[in-house]
Structure 1
Amino acid sequence: MTAGLPPLNALRAFEAVARLGSVKQAGVELNVTHGAISRQLKTLEEALGIALLEKEGRGVKLTDAGIHLRNAAREAFERLRSTCAELQRQTAEAPFVLGCPGSLLARWFIPRLDRLNRDLPDLRLQLSASEGELDPRRAGLDATLWFAEPPWPAD
């Protein structure tokens, strides 16, 4: 039998319960009912074949297996959160790359660049001049600008 990951939503619910110490608070954080969290926890325990939580008064307590999984889940989800935040920062800081034939860039776009900078001061623009035919699908371009007459490309 091959060991695989249990459902990720169940792991996510478990990690929130283990971190917050409350099924109700985990539901609030994940924008679902505490009943949905409880079902996810049951699914996880069934998938692993082991109890992860025990009832303790009105709350829950982690079993030894639950502590072990909590530590692994905390590390994994923290790495995911950190990586996603880094990717979002990179995307937010990345320039908008506009491809344009050099002649159009020199004669039309650059004379209007000051106005564009005034109208969109937060735009991080990178211009990519091209001579000859400009392929709008070229890697690294967010958009292309060219002067042409119909027929327009189908894509």
Structure 2
Amino acid sequence: MSRDLPSLNALRAFEATARLGSVSRAAEELHVTHGAISRQLRVLEQALGQPLFTRLGRGIALTAVGEQLRDRVANAFDQLRDGWSELQRSRGQAPFVLSCPSSLLARWVIPRLDRLERDLPALRLHLSPEEDPLAPQRAEPDAALVLAAAPWPAGWQVHELAPERIGPVVSPRYPGLVRLREHGPAALENEALLHTSSRPQAWPTWAKAGDVQAALHYGQGFTRLFYMLEAAVAGLGVAIAPEQLVQDDLDAGRLLAPWGFRQTDAQWILAAPRRRNDSRIEALAAWLRRALAPSADAQKSLD
């Protein structure tokens, strides 16, 4: 019986296209041209004598044969990845790749990195900044630390670590501090609020949770939460942020949280690919839960 297989490149092209639902995205992930992916797909279709994809509007969809091949190929590539990862770990060559958005990395992970490495010395942590680490990408991390709301994306095992709590924060040097002290949240109506383009719903979410009636007006916007909080520390305005990301600033007196923090429907989570079987993930999740637990000084006010 013949044991011939089609080209591995053709199978990789098919697996990426089936997973991402796009020839263009598959080409981008594999760093080849759109035409190269199309040629590899034609090789498979000619070998099978049947189409693997059909047109669906402006996109593509798998045929019944394509679905069968996708399931088998995806499983085979998963086994190859897992086997390779296990071989690397057994030889002590593979660090633990933790992906997280750059603002979480800069404001929460890095300040705690010494303690993390001291408590979990076997982890051999490698940090990978990625704004959307749960999105399909070429190289999956061992785990991703993110703030997100359910439902969780398919293919990930999610460890819930702590609820997200957000609130306004302001520098003690801010010129409008007296007004905020005297009038409470209603004074925000007269503020040009600092905000981020990555999360424009943060202010309305907080206001709704606390039944704040003030009409909110946006001022300077930033592409990253990290930049917005640096502006707040510099006394340039009132920002809004997750509690844990500003806790060090609150403890040091660089920022104040005039009305505390309110819980949202989001969570701090540690997500790992479902097929990944790595005891380090459970150890890291337990450490993160302890580190994210609120301290006695978790809330400060202007009073």
Classify the TM-score, shorter chain.
0.5 to 0.7
Structural RMSD (CA): 1.8
Q: Which residue does 2:205 correspond to in 1? A: none
Shift of 1:11: 0.7
CA distance in 2, matches of 1:93, 1:15: 27
Name the stretch that deviates more: 50-59 or 84-93.
84-93
Trace 1:2-151 onto structure 2 (pairs within 5 A): 2=2, 4-93=4-93
Cα distance per residue 1:23-47 (max 9 Å; x no partner): 1111111110111111100011111
CA distance in 2, matches of 1:90, 1:40: 35
* Cα distance in 1, alignment partners of residues 15 and 54 from structure 2: 15
Residue 43 of structure 2 aligns with an amino acid whose one-letter code is: T
TM-score, with length taken from structure 1: 0.56
Higher-Rg structure is: 1
Alignment size in residue pairs:
94
For residues 93-147 of structure 1, what are the alpha-carbon distances to aligned partners after superposition, in whole Å with 9 as ceiling and x for unaligned? 59xxxxxxxxxxxxxxxxxxxxxxxxxxxxxxxxxxxxxxxxxxxxxxxxxxxxx
Q: Given residue 56 of structure 1, which amino acid in structure 2 is its aligned partner? A: L
TM-score, with structure 2 as normaliser: 0.30
Paired letter, 1:51: P
CA contact (8 A) 1:27 1:34 kept: yes
Quote how far apart the aligned CAs of 1:6 are.
Answer: 1.1
* Separation (CA, whole Å) in 1 of partners of 2:45 and 2:20: 19
Higher strand share: 2
Structure 2 regions of 5+ residues with no counterpart? 95-303
Does the 8 Å contact 1:6/1:48 carry over to 2?
no
Distance 1:57 1:33 in 2: 22
CA–CA distance in 2 between the matches of 1:3 and 1:87? 26
Q: How far apart are the structure 2 equivalents of 1:92 and 1:40?
A: 36
Aligned partners of 1:93 and 1:10: how far apart in 2?
A: 29
Structure 1 SS opposite 2:55 = strand
**2:72 is matched by which residue type in structure 1?**
A
Q: Which segment is superposed worse, 61-70 or 81-90?
A: 81-90
Unaligned runs of at least 5 residues, structure 1: 95-155
